[in-house]
Amino acid sequence: MALTTQKHPRGISIPDDAWVRGGSQKSAYVSPWYVATMKHRDFDDQQGALSDEIVHAAIRELHEYTATSE
């Protein structure tokens, strides 16, 4: 999912203590409606890693945008 410095109504705020590695100099938010693929080059220049709690919250929110099978 995309990470941005722009606050959106359903964006998930990332507190400083949610970074388990790396971080952001500015306030950061996950945009769960914006799913992207990673390229191999992206693994060479990572911003950091987020806590499981933030990742799970983003996944739960993503499911609000995706259809479920019955």
pLDDT digits (tens, 9 = 90+) for 53-68: 999 999 999 998 887 7
Q: Which residue has the higher pLDDT, 38 or 57?
A: 57
68 belongs to a structural domain: no
**Cα torsion through 54, 17, 44, 7, rounded to 10:** 60
Residue 66: what pLDDT? 84
For residue 26, give its domain range.
Answer: 2-62
Beta bridge partners of 4: 29
Residue 69: what pLDDT? 64
55 belongs to a structural domain: yes
Q: How many domains does the chain divide into?
A: 1
Beta bridge partners of 50: 19
**pLDDT band, very low/low/confident/very high, at 29 (cuts 50, 70, 90):** very high
Least Cα distance to 32 among 15, 8, 5 occurs for 8
Q: Answer yes or no: are the C-beta atoms of 51 and 24 closer than 8 Å.
A: no
45 belongs to a structural domain: yes
pTM over 0.85: no
